Structure 1
Amino acid sequence: MAKNKNLFEKKNVLVLGGAGFIGSHLCDKLIQDNKVICVDNFISGKEANIDHLLGLENFVFLKEDVNNLADLEKYKELERFQIKFQGIQEIYNLACPTNPKDFTKTTIMTAKTNSLGTIRALELAVKYKAKLLHFSSAVVYGPRNDKDPYMVENKYFPSNPLTPRACYDTGKKFAESLVYTYRQFYSIDAKILRIFTTYGPRMPLFVGHMIPDFIVSALDNQPLIVYGDSNFSTTLCYISDVVDVCLKMMASNESGPFNIGSPDEHKIVDIAKKIIKLTNSKSEVRFADPLLFMSKLGIPDITLAKNKLEWFPIVTLDKGLEITTEYGKAHKVLIDWNKVDQVKD
């Protein structure tokens, strides 16, 4: 087993789910000071998210399913990282399918990733004595209580483990239990962040994430589809704020769990109207049935993150939407509208 010693100039960092929305932005930041191993099977992630990194000497991509990830020391692509001697210093576990429209197609993969995939990440942390940061979700708190919508890290609501969503909702709870158990048994430095709704450039299009769909639809004067009614609301945290706190958490002595998100709630229909105004669009807002993967989540109480990590979101909604819209403008030409499954009249 490789000994984890600071004998090398740069750390070996493993990012599981690194070609996804959050994972790719995290890789962008990590590559500045580390050697990065990005693992993804492209169930939710895309090669386009990491194309700009593929030619870098300190970046290696492995197209693998985390549930079947082999011994890292056996990959020829990683020989230059000298894992046998240097080991792995940090592991970021973001692996899990997250596309709402594809949810029913990936339930088994989701269940496996929340269990077997998390175990695989933890076993690597044990082997290399690596620090591990596990990305959890607001769904661990259970259904939202509108009388008390603020989610605090030690307050949970009952939830049914026998539902079509259980592979994700209950799976996320089980994954946290695994992280806690491995931390207690093996004395590893394993941490948990609970990520609430995050947005920004590189969110996948036309799989049920409404903000990127709103932007490209508005740019082409197409209808903006809200999955839910006019009262459906959410909190929104910009991607750079989430990446910043991930790095703070990994560098800290804290284990969490900590809520990460914006404490400000917004109606989705109001977001749609903002985007229409931002793009000077002639689009209209339409409503459709909610998707199974989507549920109304609580509002994050971020007091612990503020006090323990000195973190709070700094990018305003207006600024974040402006940046994300500019990204949409730059990539609109790549969209084939004939292949887009829009809600019909």
Structure 2
Amino acid sequence: MKRTLITGAAGFLGSHLCDRFIAEGHEVIAMDNLITGDLKNIEHLFPLERFKFYNHDVTNFVHVPGNLDYILHFASPASPIDYLKIPIQTLKVGALGTHNLLGLAKEKNARFMIASTSEIYGDPLVHPQTEEYYGNVNTIGPRGVYDEAKRFQESITMAYHRFHGLDTRIVRIFNTYGPRMRLNDGRVIPAFMGQALRGEDLTVFGDGSQTRSFCFVDDEIEGIYRLLMSDYTLPVNIGNPNEITIKDFAEEIIKLTGTDQKIIYKPLPKDDPMQRQPDITKAKEILGWEPKVGREEGMRKTFEFFKGLSKEELKKTEHRDFSNHNKK
């Protein structure tokens, strides 16, 4: 039986990865310090003998008894609200956490994967973004704590691959959505859906002409799994190239939810990327992967999940306020 360690396991993507590796017959060791994760995302796995959970911060020394075949490092705040609140922790999990887990992978001779991000491209000057593009990132801006943490992850992972011969994979994840997203994490989809469910107007930052490309979580997990099981060691974009403006997307949400809210506009946060679209040529050619779930189907499934939340959970949702973000 293969043994797989997944960090950030109680988070959005981490919990879906736990499900996938359990379904594939692995023993899963899940690790999370719960700073942004939620045990509700994985509590259905607790009765299983092949699932173990450790409440641990990977910026501290990581020990896992026994052999490991795979390590997937997905521990990191991933939304502006989170990494603006906890910038130091964001940098530490990208640097110290990655270093600790690479050392563990070397000790166990395990295949290692990091969750990188489209944010390493910054506010891109190349469109769509290919893996060969080095990015346009403000290293000292408020978003730099996340962007540079991920860029460092890629650098140290490739250093371990080249110097120690470690078997590594790098997945660059573009905007992903689906059930188990947090309504209060500040990202576009949960923010819009939370506002619609509470009867509030939808907040668009800037004039809404900036674009995003949204990939449903089932497709994202399939791409991640295929990359891990492939022989390809350089970064690969995994995302949906179907691009849409934020203004058009807000109108889609209003139509989906059957509400009559208006769209209101606020200043665009500093360094917010104006375009985001993955070039997935490598994923198609190397992995035989491309997204299958259309946005209409994926959004319907996501909205059904959010509708099932309690009134208390909806009330706890934080508003996306980037006023201080703009001043820094």
TM-score, normalisation: structure 2: 0.91
Distance 1:318-1:172 versus aligned 2 partners, 3 A rule: same
Correspondence for 1:89 among 69, 76, 79: 69
CA distance in 2, matches of 1:201, 1:140: 25
Q: Does 1:250 align with 2:242?
A: no
Equivalent in the alignment of 1:111: 91
Structure number with greater Rg is: 1
CA distance in 2, matches of 1:336, 1:155: 39
Distance 1:219-1:141 versus aligned 2 partners, 3 A rule: closer
Q: Does 1:331 align with 2:309?
A: yes
Alpha-carbon shift at residue 107 of structure 1 (Å): 1.0
Correspondence for 1:16 among 7, 31, 37: 7
Equivalent in the alignment of 1:159: 137
In the alignment, residue 23 of structure 1 is paired with which amino acid? Answer: G
CA distance in 1, matches of 2:122, 2:257: 36
Q: Does 1:314 align with 2:292?
A: yes
Aligned residues of 1:140 and 1:170 also touching (Cα < 8 A): yes
In the alignment, residue 266 of structure 1 is paired with which amino acid? Answer: I
Q: Does 1:139 align with 2:131?
A: no
In the alignment, residue 68 of structure 1 is paired with which amino acid? Answer: N
Q: Does 1:26 align with 2:6?
A: no
CA distance in 2, matches of 1:272, 1:143: 21
CA distance in 2, matches of 1:227, 1:158: 21
Aligned residues of 1:208 and 1:291 also touching (Cα < 8 A): no
CA distance in 1, matches of 2:282, 2:179: 28
Distance 1:152-1:175 versus aligned 2 partners, 3 A rule: same
Aligned residues of 1:216 and 1:332 also touching (Cα < 8 A): no
Once the two structures are superposed, residues 259-317 of structure 1 have per-residue CA deviations (whole angstroms, 9 ceiling, x without a partner) of 11111211122222212212211222222333458533432111011000000111111
Equivalent in the alignment of 1:280: 258
Distance 1:310-1:339 versus aligned 2 partners, 3 A rule: closer
In the alignment, residue 61 of structure 1 is paired with which amino acid? Answer: F
Aligned residues of 2:122 and 2:273 also touching (Cα < 8 A): no
CA distance in 2, matches of 1:182, 1:51: 34
Aligned positions, number = 320
CA distance in 2, matches of 1:110, 1:286: 31
Identity of aligned residues (%): 36
In structure 2, the residue corresponding to 1:150 is in which secondary structure? coil
Structure 1 gaps, min length 5: 1-9, 74-82
CA distance in 2, matches of 1:339, 1:310: 38
Distance 1:267-1:279 versus aligned 2 partners, 3 A rule: same
TM-score, normalisation: structure 1: 0.87
CA distance in 1, matches of 2:289, 2:251: 30
Structure 2 gaps, min length 5: 322-328
In structure 2, the residue corresponding to 1:203 is in which secondary structure? coil
Equivalent in the alignment of 1:58: 50
State the 4+ residue runs in structure 1 displaced beyond 6 angstroms: none
Once the two structures are superposed, residues 52-104 of structure 1 have per-residue CA deviations (whole angstroms, 9 ceiling, x without a partner) of 1122221111111111143222xxxxxxxxx1xxx011111111112312322
Equivalent in the alignment of 1:78: none
Once the two structures are superposed, residues 322-345 of structure 1 have per-residue CA deviations (whole angstroms, 9 ceiling, x without a partner) of 1111111112444252765477xx
Aligned residues of 1:101 and 1:291 also touching (Cα < 8 A): no
- Tell me which moved more, 265-274 or 128-137: 265-274
Superposition RMSD in Å: 1.9
In structure 1, the residue corresponding to 2:207 is in which secondary structure? coil
Alpha-carbon shift at residue 213 of structure 1 (Å): 2.4
Aligned residues of 1:44 and 1:98 also touching (Cα < 8 A): no
CA distance in 1, matches of 2:317, 2:224: 36
